[in-house]
Amino acid sequence: MTQPPAPDRHYLNVNYGVRSWLLTVDHKRIALLYLGSVTLFFMIGGIFAMLVRLELLTPEGDLMQAETYNKMFTMHGIAMVFFFLLPAIPAVLGNFLVPMMIGAKDLAFPRLNLLSWYLYMIGALFTIWAIVAGGVDTGWTFYTPYSTAWSNTNVVPVALGIFVAGFSSILTGLNFIVTIHKMRAPGLTWFRLPLFIWAHYATSIIMILGTPVLAITIVLVALERIFHFGFFDPALGGDPVLFQHFFWFYSHPAVYIMILPAMGVISELVACYSRKRIFGYSFVAFSSLAIALVGFLVWGHHMFVSGQSVYAALVFSILSFLVAIPSAVKVFNWTATLYKGRISFETPMLYVFGFIGLFTVGGLTGLFLAALGLDVHVHDTYFIVAHFHYIMVGGTIMAYLGGLHFWWPKISGRLYPEWWGRLSAGVIFVGFNLTFFPQFILGYLGMPRRYHVYPEEFQVLNVMSSAGASILGFGYLIPLVYMIWSMRYGKPAPANPWSAAGLEWTTPSPPPTENFPVTPVVTEEAYAYDLPARRLPEGTHV
């Protein structure tokens, strides 16, 4: 297959200087701005995680006091959830790829896109300032009345930071929805769209429907904390459970903001490295929408022990089981895609296997938690902690790294070193499981979350977990080093190093600012890997 030659002028060298980056409206450059920012927050969150695991190495509270420990896990959660996991895939890979995959020159509202990065940064600066000024200790959930009446840490600055960053999320979602509706290339019908686009469309729906509710919740918490307006504090006549309803109405769907784009990435990768059309395309596409919609109706499963009515809990339990169905549809369809495929084991594909395995464990343990009786037993234990880390870290971060490797040649114009890639994927997988699998057992044995001390009999499992965390942390450092290295010293990438289907691979690496010299016309369905042009010669390895 002939490939366009590497261009002299592309989006990275079209102009230079700080101004050309900070005032850019090119979605690809904004994606890179986001890449830098979320990586910074990944490291901040990672440092707090290491401090938490370090404290839990021994049963006594010898490294820090309870109050300090509360701040550590709170700031770990806030940095990771609001400033890394939520924006990671949509704002980096989505920003870069949504216009490229649909044959557009940019997102529908380029200046809004830049504004969303600035909002993210303003929110991030508020949060960093609050961390430096002494931190916050409410847990990332900000439960009232502790957050509004009792905590004497920096609740308001952090809440304000999350509020502002939330608008960045809203604008990203709005931009994606309009872009996907109005900017598709000629011939690119809805059912020819890559599943990455379907996943981002579904994610955007959650962003625009959920995030405003978080925003108003934060406003109410701030009003109560600053002016003693009574909304949630029982001392003022309010209802703290109402806060939990508000909070989880956003924050449960927020989990799907993290996992749906990850699923989109996996669909692209699994098709490419199996050299097959994805099995059951329309089922995978609609399961994204189903997750987005049903995901809005399950928030009450966070409140089984919060005093909501048994009848409500029963309904939420059933709905939570239901949301597992579209997730399972995806897992089955990816597995079926592998069947009789020509599978190769490049780094991104290793992350795919990691994702499918870990997401399945995370999803299945989610069913344990949706079961009313069992949840009462494991609620607020390490079982929960292990479960959501399997989804968020084992799912989202695996897919994020897999996607970053897969599209790295397109983004940077350079190939990453394959051997190091495979090594780090392996280290991360091992480190992850060693960190979090023991936590399932700890939780089942009854170790509660959010305590800095624990009975001595839990030490062996905790040491395993802390050891795993250091392996995991090391594993994450390897790609950080070689990705930066490859930007300068990596082999120049051809336009389509994986012989992959998809419009983004028809344009040079790195792409020109306008993405496509000529607007492409789409004549084939997505993942047409059986076309002669994309069939690999016998015996070749990509």
The neighbouring-strand residues paired with 414 are 492
Q: Find out whether 188 and 246 touch, Cβ atoms under 8 Å.
A: no
Name the residue nearer to other proteins (CB basis): 169 or 347: 169
Each as own residue / partner, the long-range contacts of residues 455-459 (CB below 8 Å, 24 or more positions apart, any chain) are 455/59, 456/59, 458/59, 459/58, 459/59
Q: Where do runs of H (alpha helix) occur along 84-109?
A: 86-87, 95-101
As a whole number of angstroms, the distance between CA 251 and CA 142 comes to: 11
The residue (of 225 and 387) whose beta carbon lies closer to other proteins is: 225
Nearer to other proteins, 297 or 471 (CB): 297
Q: Which is nearer to other proteins, 79 or 197 (CB)?
A: 197
CB of 467 to other proteins, least distance (A): 44
For residue 225, the minimal CB distance to other proteins (Å) is 12
Q: How far is the CB of 206 from other proteins (least distance, A)?
A: 11
Q: Is omega for the bond preceding 99 within 30 degrees of 0, making it cis? A: no
Q: Which of 352, 305, 308 shows the shortest CA–CA distance to 330?
A: 352
- Measured CA to CA, the distance from residue 100 to residue 318 in angstroms comes to 39
Q: Give 54 or 242: the residue with its C-beta nearer to other proteins.
A: 242
CB of 204 to other proteins, least distance (A): 9
492: phi > 0 → left, psi -120 to 50 → alpha, else beta; which? beta
Instruction: In whole angstroms, give the CA distance from residue 260 to residue 388.
Output: 15
Other CB atoms within 10 Å distance of the CB of residue 455: 10
Distance between CA atoms of 431 and 394, rounded to whole angstroms? 11
- Smallest gap, in angstroms, from Cβ of residue 181 to other proteins? 6
Beta carbons of 382 and 465 less than 8 angstroms apart: no
In angstroms, the CA 515 to CA 169 distance is 24
Q: How far apart are CB 111 and other proteins at their closest, in Å?
A: 9
Least CB distance from residue 95 to other proteins, whole Å?
A: 14
User: Cβ(98)–Cβ(183) under 8 Å?
Assistant: no
CB of 210 to other proteins, least distance (A): 8
The residue among 207 and 361 lying less far from other proteins, judged by its C-beta, is: 207
- In the complex with other proteins, the residue whose CB is nearer, 179 or 317, is 179
Closer to other proteins by Cβ: residue 239 or 485: 239
The b/e string for 215-228 (b: 16+ C-beta within 10 A; e otherwise) is bebbebbbebbeee
Closest approach, Cβ 439 to other proteins, in A, equals 34
To the nearest 10°, the Cα dihedral for 261, 330, 251, 72?
Answer: -80
Q: Which residues bind other proteins (CB under 8 A)?
A: 104-110, 170, 174-175, 177-179, 181-183, 208-213, 215-217, 219-220, 223-224, 227-231, 236-239, 242, 246, 514, 519
Minimum Å gap between C-beta 237 and other proteins is 4
Q: Are the C-beta atoms of residues 223 and 231 closer than 8 Å to each other?
A: yes
Output the smallest distance, CB 162 to other proteins, in A.
Answer: 15
- Of the pair 224, 504, the CB lying nearest other proteins is at 224
Asked if 265 contacts 405 with a C-beta cutoff of 8 angstroms, the reply is no
Please identify, using beta-carbon distances, which residue of 104 and 260 lies nearer to other proteins. 104
How buried is 307 (Cβ within 10 angstroms: 0-12 exposed, 13-18 middle, 19+ buried)?
exposed
